[in-house]
Amino acid sequence: MNKIEKMASSPLKMKLFLLRQLPMAFLAGLKIVEFNKNSVKVSVPFKFLNKNPFRSVYFAVLSMAAELSSGVIALAAVSDSSVPVSMLVLKMRAEFLKKAKSKIVFTCNDGEKIRETVKKSVETGEGQTIEVHSSGSDTSGDIVAEFIFEWTFKPKVKKQVPE
């Protein structure tokens, strides 16, 4: 278990991480409810701070939860890497299928694909991109939103200073 997995499995450590690194996610009440190397589930509550004028969860809050579900897997893969690797969301596509009027849980099951992409990036020394999927379901099990994130990973190289 690496440091990201340990952090994600501790509610207190995760809250401190969110408060320090992703304060809007902390305020929105995002929580990692399940974490393993291949799959992550992130919940977002339906509460006053998260709602829009149409009495549903604001799309930006849904986007944060969806991105975190893939991003925490990516962080774990990068932290396992033998060299420092930068990571960044390059593109995002979303489809909103149903009004989000309850707690929503986003699931990303692309851990193996993410780890393989990070590994390939380190092996080749070049940037690699991957599309990952995150699906959000409400308390009745209905899918309310589908997200596709294009992540890019690139090994960080030390710049040589000319002599």
Per-residue pLDDT of the chain (163 residues; tens, 9 = 90+): 677 877 877 878 888 888 888 889 999 999 999 998 899 999 999 999 899 999 999 999 999 999 999 999 999 999 888 899 999 999 999 999 999 999 999 999 999 999 999 999 999 989 999 999 999 999 999 999 999 999 999 998 765 556 6
Sheet architecture: strand order including 40-44: 31-35, 40-44, 104-108, 128-137, 143-155, 85-96
pLDDT of residue 18: 85
pLDDT of residue 160: 57
Predicted structure pTM score? 0.89
pLDDT of residue 132: 97
Give just the sign of the alpha carbon dihedral 82, 88, 93, 98.
positive
For the chain, list the domains and their CATH numbers: 3-155 (3.10.129.10)
